[in-house]
Amino acid sequence: MPHNNEDIIAIERIKQKDKKALQLLYDKYAPALYGVILRMCGNKEMAEDLLQETFVKIWQKIEAYDPNKGKFYTWAYRIAKNLTLNTIRKKEILIQNEDLSVYREKENAEPQLDVAALNGAVGKLEPHHQEAISLVYFKGYTHREANEQMGVPLGTFKSYVRQALQLLRESYDKEFILIGILINLF
């Protein structure tokens, strides 16, 4: 999805405190961000609050976004990721202070949401490539945390990520060429 003019114009309008422009960006990006947040925290209610918080922050901090340094989505993703990780950490601290049995009951009462499965090109990758991408992108792990989670050396983990990204790239390029051919055909 290339850097497009619609986004740039909307962002300029948001800087002028135009809420309609924020609605445009919400409609476009909220589902992608919600997919990340929900996978990261695994709790629907929390994810809804965090999505709202993310857009409040986008509204308040839009002056800090510089289109020359990267895509709007990347910037928004970082906001969502940081908010989510901070909230999870706070919750973990609270749970640590609570009775462990209460925690276990809660865990049983809230079954894990079935959102872990990945769709699209990434969903078609080998399981270890999928997991590597899932950990760093959808779970918010650092490379170091993620390689421990997978139980492979850091170097191996890095090459998994690189291979996975390479495969994604090839897959998207193929689609792009296919679309090109189709457009040329019709």
Query: Is residue 126 at the binding interface for another protein, with CB under 8 A as the rule?
Result: no
Query: Is residue 26 at the binding interface for another protein, with CB under 8 A as the rule?
Result: yes
Query: Is residue 21 at the binding interface for another protein, with CB under 8 A as the rule?
Result: no
Q: Is the CB of 19 or the CB of 106 nearer to another protein?
A: 19
| Nearest distance in Å: CB 181, another protein | 19
| Span from 4-12, 27-35, 96-104, 178-186 in contact with another protein (CB under 8 A) | 27-35
Q: HEC states along the chain?
A: CCCCHHHHHHHHHHHCCCHHHHHHHHHHHHHHHHHHHHHHHCCHHHHHHHHHHHHHHHHHHHHHCCHHHCCHHHHHHHHHHHHHHHHHHHHHHHHHHCCHHHHHHHHHHCCCCCCCCCCHHHHCCCHHHHHHHHHHHHCCCCHHHHHHHHCCCHHHHHHHHHHHHHHHHHHHHHHHHHHHHHHHHC
Q: Is the CB of 53 or the CB of 95 nearer to another protein?
A: 53
Question: Applying CB under 8 A, which residues contact another protein?
Answer: 1-3, 17, 19, 22-23, 26, 30-36, 38-39, 47-48, 51-52, 55-56, 59, 69-71, 73-74, 77-78, 81-82, 115, 118-123, 133, 136-138, 142-143, 158, 161-162, 165, 168-169, 172
